[in-house]
Structure 1
Amino acid sequence: MTLINRTVRLRLSALVAFLVSSLFWQATLSQEHEKPLLQPFSTASTLEPEWQPLEFPNIDRTSEYQLVQDNGEQVVMASTDGGASGLIARIRVEPGDQLMLRWRWKVSSVYEDGDARSKDGDDYPARIYVAFEFEADKAGFFERAKRKAAEALFGEELPGNALNYIWANRLEKGEIVPNPYTDTTMMLAVESSNEKAGQWLTAERNIVADYRKAFGAEPPALVGVAIMSDSDNTGESAKAWYGDVELLKAP
């Protein structure tokens, strides 16, 4: 073998090694880029630490959440019986011009005494809670002071406005009403009544468009997404099943 041929072979080998390394690196970057913003329930070995318990003061009885199999797919089953709590994924996402939220859910039934317009009826067999960053520059003095006191009590920074996508009891589908406890949370009925109870349904919402419609402003950063099944106000019971909850940013 001549020296020239050996040199050519070495250069070709080096080129091939470089190309293979580059392709592997690009594939790794692509996988990282495509990593879901929220941990899918379908592939999770455990709920924590990505999905953490969301509990409330003065509510001793909590809802139960567990990974189960339903028709060959892993989902979260929630059981609530006179209590309230959720599972929250604390993340930070800038909504931009478009941010889509997509999920699958199923409920056993809605509540006979459920009513989104009253405190006594503010319970839902299933809801998706989307929390946004608190905008201190747009809040009044008393609101800021009240939040500081609450944060000192709870030991963590509280979110600002929130959208609740609910499986409503009485609202018409698509209807938006303020939460009876606070107008910083708006309730949007994605499904309603018992008509489709027991069926898996898929929902998709444009979070940016919904925020604009609900609050009349551009959304700040999203700081958390939670699932929640509660019955502390009505004292009733229900089960709900949640498939993967996906956040999809505009390309």
Structure 2
Amino acid sequence: MRIALLSSVFVAATTAAWAGPISFSEGWREQRLSLFSSNDYVFGSNLSMVSEGSVSIAWTRVGEEDWTRTGASWSWTVEQSVPMTSLAQKGGDDRNVSLYFVFVPERIAPDLKGANIRSLLGNEDVRVIQYAWGGNHSKGQIIQSPYGPPGQGVTIALRQAGTGSHNERVDLAADYARAFGGEKGALVGLAVSGDSDDTDSVIRAAIGNLRLQ
């Protein structure tokens, strides 16, 4: 399945301090979370996705030159949405799109250059911020992930479930301090997911123009 999106949705950033954009055409892999469940991703100038009662993650590593980045911006579009859910409820937390930022302490980052997303998410030193379009939460609310060890991952709500197109800009360092305390480590991974399996619904969405600062 494919999603037709107008290129005007993705507005380019022009500030010299912003790196990128991050390529969606190379280096991304899908990680299934269930043997019989998979989203349909299309990689190119943006990442488009269809999720039909399914869930999976598309992920990539961040180059060492970008480990110290402290901010991010991107554009995303949802053409078909899951219903509102509670993102704090394990097994009932469907959302349209999530963008993950994966951090590790700088001292161990070189040893994890070859780690896949499962290894990273299973490492007790890893911290994950997941910005979500979905759920029924207020913008900016921090929700502890119901998956994995307590204190390892959080979801930050940006948009409630629904359709439309939006540009986002986040302060990774400030959000890390709010979520976990202290200074962020090295940004070593990025991931995008759609989750529609609990509500057996359909997502048609895309994300693009992802830049790090």
Write the letter of the residue equivalent to 1:169.
G
Q: Match for 2:54: what amino acid?
A: G
Q: Does 1:89 align with 2:60?
A: yes
Tell me by how many angstroms 1:60 deviates. 2.1
Bigger share in strand: 2
Please state which structure has a larger fraction of its residues in helix.
1
Equivalenced residues, count: 183
Quote the residue 2:75 is aligned against: 104
Match of 2:32 in 1: 55
Instruction: Flag the 1:38–1:52 CA change in 2: closer, same or farther, 3 A.
Output: farther
Give % identity: 25
Deviation digits for residues 159-193 of structure 1, max 9, x if unmatched?
51100000022011111110122331101011113
Alpha-carbon separation, structure 2, partners of 1:102 and 1:157: 23
Distance of 1:185 and 1:135 partners within structure 2: 18
Larger Rg: 1
1:213 aligned counterpart, secondary structure: helix
- Pick from 73, 76, 88 the counterpart of residue 117 of structure 1: 88
The equivalent of 1:243 in structure 2 is 208
TM-score, normalised on structure 2?
Answer: 0.75
Q: Runs of 4 or more off by more than 2 Å in structure 1?
A: 33-41, 92-96, 108-114, 134-137, 156-159, 232-235
Aligned equivalent of 1:167, options 94, 111, 133: 133
Q: Deviations over 1:132-178 (max 9, x none)?
A: 116899xxxxxxxxxxxxx9xx6x45451100000022011111110
SS at match of 1:120: coil
CA contact (8 A) 2:81 2:204 kept: no
Note the aligned Cα RMSD (angstroms). Answer: 2.8
**TM-score normalised over the length of structure 1:** 0.64
In 2: Cα distance, 1:113 partner to 1:200 partner: 17
**More relative contact order in 1 or in 2 (CA 8 Å, sep 6+)?**
2
Structure 1 alignment gaps of length 5 or more: 1-32, 42-46, 69-73, 138-150
Amino acid at match of 1:39: I
